[in-house]
Structures are given as C-alpha cells and as structure tokens.
Amino acid sequence: MVRVYFPPDANCLLSVADHCLRSRDYVNVIISDKQKHLQYLTMEEAIAHCTKGLGIWEWASNDDRGKEPDEPDVVMACCGDIPTMESLAATAILREEFPDLRVRFINVVDLLTLVDEREHPHGLSNCDFDTLFTPDKPVIFNFHGYPWLIHKLVYRRTNQERIHVRGYKEKGNINTPLELALENQIDRFNLVIDVINRVPSLGSRAAYVKERMKNNIIEHTNYAFEEGIDQPEIREWKWPY
C-alpha cells in the first residue's frame, strides 16, 4: 500500500516522518524541500493534523461565526509547502478586501485522503468529504504537483467540476520563488482572481480588486526579473491575523 505526504511545515514533517518510520507494509513517500518555511502549527497540532491527513485550519478560516450557519462562500484548499503559503497569503488578501466573504481553509497532508474510501483505506467517505469541502461551493485547490492528479483523485466526489486546481504546468527555469509561482499560476494574486471569478456574490463589485491583482502580477514579475529576488513584502510575508 502506498501513502503520499506533503507536510506544510517543519512540525508536520517531523510528525509524518515519525509516523512513516513506525509503519509496516507501506511504501511511504514524503514530498518536502530543504528551504526555510513559515511554521504554522505546534507539535501537538501537527500530530493531530497529520494523523487525520487533512483538516480545516480554523485560525485561517472565518466561516465559523458563532450562532450563524457555518457555511463558506469558498473553500481554499492546499497541499504542499509553497502552495500552502501562497493560499494563506491569498486568504489574507480576501479577508482584507472582502470582510463579509466566508472562507474555509483546508490543508491536505496525506494526498490519498482525497480518494473515495472504497478505493484506499485512507480515503474519506463521501459524507466526510462533503462536510469538509461542502457539496456545492467552489473549491480553489493549490497543489505542489500536476493539477490533473487532484482531478483524478476526486473524480467520484459530489459536483467535482466545482473543484478548480492550480499546480505545476512545467513552466519556469532559474526563477525567484514568487516568479516560479507566478509562472505556474499558484501565486496569491492568481488565486484571488480565481476566487473572484468563481464566487457569484463577488462579481463586478470585485472589479477593482481584480485589477489590483493583475497589476501586482506585472509589478512583481518585473521586479524579480530586474533584481533577481522577490520584493521584501514577499520574502518577509507572515500570516497577519
């Protein structure tokens, strides 16, 4: 049996590595890099998150509003370290620009949790999948690998055509981190545009935000080309909430 893990931070990497070393009769694949990344979870939180394989990051979401129904307008999902950071940055922009927009943030560590439970022992039931991702809301899924892989994994899920995946498009060479993300459209600005295009309640009222996102893409692309590094606001970005 095969398991594929994409830990988003150091504590998740340690938790996954420990889990894999203790396992038997599995081929464990861990996808990670050696660069420094932001730390999102405590060790206790990472253990719980990696044990489930995926889950809602409540601190990054704003669809749970007490007595009101916990119904998001959009689900921001991600798998992988850079896609997670860019999805978080996009979510921060959305929360700043559209305070009334309900965003649910889901991070995936164990890729095979997306598979139907009848196909893999780590797969979610349709009920659990719909509870997390909703049965009908748009999902913007940012992925470390090829987009078609996610579509193949979720092909049995409810209204799977609403799941829009961004991932590697075999673009880029010697680029800055953001420049490479921009080349493959997994960056924060393109993700915000994706949300604007797919959430009906935004529509034309988000026209100016979309224009700013397009201008940001041009500005940051030109800066990276001319300077060979990303702007400080990108290199030093941290979760603001």
Which CATH number goes with the domain that contains 215?
Answer: 3.40.50.920
In the chain the beta strands, taken as DSSP E runs, fall at 2-5, 27-30, 54-56, 74-79, 103-108, 139-143, 163-166
pLDDT in tens, 65-119: 766 667 899 999 999 999 999 999 999 999 999 999 999 999 999 999 999 999 8
pLDDT score at 70: 75
CA distances for 69 relative to 57, 158, 180, angstroms: 18, 21, 39
pLDDT score at 67: 63
pLDDT score at 26: 84
CB 80 within 8 A of CB 8: yes
More confident residue, 1 or 136: 136
The answer as to whether 2 is a domain residue is no
CB 167 within 8 A of CB 118: no
Tell me the residue range of the domain where 201 lies.
53-235
| H/E stretch holding 198 | helix 188-198
CB 129 within 8 A of CB 52: no
pLDDT score at 25: 85
| Whole-angstrom Cα Rg for the chain | 18
The answer as to whether 13 is a domain residue is no
Residue 31 predicted with pLDDT over 90: no
pLDDT in tens, 163-217: 999 999 988 788 899 999 999 999 999 999 999 999 999 989 999 999 999 999 9
Which residues fall within 8 angstroms of residue 119, CB to CB, at 6 or more apart? 156
The answer as to whether 68 is a domain residue is yes
pLDDT in tens, 222-233: 999 999 999 999
pLDDT in tens, 132-167: 999 999 999 999 999 999 999 999 999 999 999 999
Residue 47 predicted with pLDDT over 90: yes
The answer as to whether 183 is a domain residue is yes
Residue 218 predicted with pLDDT over 90: yes
pLDDT score at 174: 81
pLDDT score at 33: 80
The answer as to whether 10 is a domain residue is no
The answer as to whether 197 is a domain residue is yes
* Separation CA 177–CA 145 (nearest Å): 15
pLDDT (average), residues 15-40 = 86
Confidence class of residue 44 from pLDDT cuts 50, 70 and 90?
Answer: very high
pLDDT score at 154: 95
> String of b and e for 66-88 (b: at least 16 CB within 10 Å)?
eeeeeebbbbbbbbbbbbbbbbb
Q: Return the amino acid letter for 76.
A: M
pLDDT (average), residues 37-48 = 93
Which pTM was predicted? Answer: 0.93
More confident residue, 189 or 9: 189
The answer as to whether 1 is a domain residue is no
Structural domains in the chain (count): 1
The answer as to whether 3 is a domain residue is no
